């Protein structure tokens, strides 16, 4: 497991970078004088960059090694973050986020592809482990802007310092030997057609479920601080501390559900956590006491955090020659959810208010539950593994 251990420090940073928009969005809105509807475009652009990197990754791993790609992704993110930290124009700020998403997508996708190639039997557990380290990055990415705000430092330091931190985190990856990713097909229209033909109901059900699941957690984290500040009058520093606790609950949830899925399988685990998530997310914004809201949000995050990693682990049921492309395709669906749904929820916030905005996320889990009932199959699918 030395190869996976070398990835984990950098994976933490990808979580940090991913949460930079949710944790600083109130500062960005204030500095550039924009409303929540326009601010939501940052998540859309960031996940667009991730999606572009996902389309390119199976072609790149044919030409370059894991180390070369991780270094390239790190440089792109580092340079783009430094440029963002000096931006005076919101349009330029937003465009640079496309490159941040692209580089971050490379660094966060490669470990998942590595798992599907070399650790397929432990896919559910290791995917949950990767997302747990991403969640640890959420904690750091929440606390850090809170400290910057508390010290009355410029919001620009939120982007400049992680750009510098990337370099030393490359050292474990550079010093570790990784197995090559061989015998994998490039993502193409032919491969996508074969994915679909493998089991159409399963593929389409997973596709929509991943989009909704990833979009729901992205929207939840993106607009949590805005909800607390506008609806409960929470200070900016306290909002960041609360957001950090969401990262802690995400770590707890992903570790729990990764182990549960190993014992009772993925499908029954999802049948437990999805309906509970729907109820908790719907109820959490309604109490008018801040502490009750936070407790309910914390418990809700324990459940909703397990959805995306468990769906992504389904890539391991496909033939090994296709598994990298399948995982990449699933990651594209996840990015698509991260692009569209926070942007849509931002408009619900703007036109219907913070309570309606946060509570509306629960509808996504209702749809996911419906998809699970349509699929009605175990994941991983034993019949497909045998055939």
CB atoms within 10 A of CB 238: 16
**Is residue 107 a contact partner of residue 76, using CB atoms and an 8 Å limit?**
no
**Is residue 214 a contact partner of residue 308, using CB atoms and an 8 Å limit?**
yes
Per-residue confidence in pLDDT tens, the chain, 387 aa: 667 777 788 888 888 888 787 777 777 888 888 776 677 788 778 888 888 887 788 778 878 887 888 889 989 999 999 998 888 888 888 899 899 999 988 888 888 777 777 666 666 667 667 777 877 887 777 777 778 877 888 888 888 888 888 888 888 888 877 776 666 666 677 777 887 887 788 888 888 999 999 889 888 887 887 788 788 877 777 877 887 788 788 888 888 888 888 788 788 888 899 999 999 999 999 988 889 999 999 999 999 988 888 887 777 777 766 767 787 788 788 878 877 888 788 888 878 888 888 999 999 999 999 988 888 755 454 444 443
210: closest CA among 23, 91, 375?
375
Domain ranges of the chain: 2-178+185-386
| CATH fold for the domain made of 2-178+185-386 | Growth Hormone; Chain: A; (1.20.1250)
**Is residue 345 a contact partner of residue 360, using CB atoms and an 8 Å limit?**
yes
DSSP SS3 for 95: helix
- Looking at residue 78, its pLDDT comes to 92
The 8-class DSSP code of residue 318 comes to S
Q: Which residues of 188-208 are buried (b: 16+ CB within 10 A; e: fewer)?
A: eeebeebbeebbeebbebbbb
- Looking at residue 364, its pLDDT comes to 93
Long-range contacts of the stretch 202-208 (C-beta < 8 A, 24+): 202/314, 202/375, 202/377, 202/381, 205/371, 205/372, 205/374, 205/375, 206/311, 206/314, 206/330, 206/333, 206/375, 207/330, 207/333, 208/367, 208/371
Report the alpha-carbon distance of residue 273 to residue 203 in Å, rounded.
Answer: 21
- Looking at residue 382, its pLDDT comes to 45
Which residues are CB-contacts of 144 (< 8 A; sequence separation ≥ 6)? 16, 23, 158, 161, 162
Distance of CA 52 to the CA centre of its chain: 15
- Looking at residue 118, its pLDDT comes to 67
Angle between helices 2-18 and 157-169 (to 10 degrees): 170
């Amino acid at each position: 497991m030395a190869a996976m251990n070398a990835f984990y420090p950098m994976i933490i940073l990808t979580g940090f970078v991913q949460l930079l928009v949710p944790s600083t969005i109130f500062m960005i809105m204030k500095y550039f004088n924009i409303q929540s509807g326009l601010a939501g475009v940052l998540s859309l652009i960031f996940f667009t960059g991730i999606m572009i990197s996902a389309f390119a990754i199976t072609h790149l791993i044919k030409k370059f090694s894991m180390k070369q790609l991780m270094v390239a992704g790190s440089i792109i993110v580092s340079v783009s973050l430094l440029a963002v930290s000096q931006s005076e124009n919101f349009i330029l700020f937003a465009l640079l986020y496309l490159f941040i998403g692209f580089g971050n997508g490379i660094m966060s996708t490669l470990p998942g592809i590595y798992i599907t190639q070399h650790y397929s039997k432990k896919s559910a557990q290791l995917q949950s482990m990767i997302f747990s380290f991403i969640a640890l990055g959420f904690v750091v990415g929440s606390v850090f802007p809170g400290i910057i705000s508390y010290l009355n430092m410029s919001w620009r330091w939120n982007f400049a310092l992680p750009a510098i931190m990337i370099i030393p985190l490359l050292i474990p990856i550079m010093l570790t030997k990784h197995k090559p990713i061989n015998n994998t097909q490039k993502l193409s229209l032919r491969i996508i057609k074969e994915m679909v033909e493998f089991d159409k109901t399963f593929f389409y059900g997973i596709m929509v479920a991943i989009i909704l699941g990833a979009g729901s957690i992205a929207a939840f984290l993106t607009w949590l601080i805005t909800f607390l500040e506008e609806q409960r009058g929470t200070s900016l520093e306290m909002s960041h501390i609360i957001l950090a606790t969401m990262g802690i609950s995400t770590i707890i949830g992903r570790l729990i559900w990764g182990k549960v899925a190993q014992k009772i399988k993925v499908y029954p685990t999802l049948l437990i956590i999805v309906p509970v998530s729907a109820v908790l997310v719907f109820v959490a914004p309604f109490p008018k006491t801040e502490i009750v809201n936070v407790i309910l949000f914390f418990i809700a995050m324990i459940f909703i955090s397990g959805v995306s990693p468990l769906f992504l682990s389904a890539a391991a049921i496909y033939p090994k020659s296709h598994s990298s492309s399948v995982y990449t395709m699933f990651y594209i669906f996840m990015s698509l959810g991260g692009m569209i749904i926070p942007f849509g929820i931002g408009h619900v916030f703007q036109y219907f208010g913070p309570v309606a905005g946060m509570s509306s996320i629960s509808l996504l889990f209702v749809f996911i539950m419906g998809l699970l009932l349509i699929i009605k199959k175990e994941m991983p699918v034993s019949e497909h593994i045998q055939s």
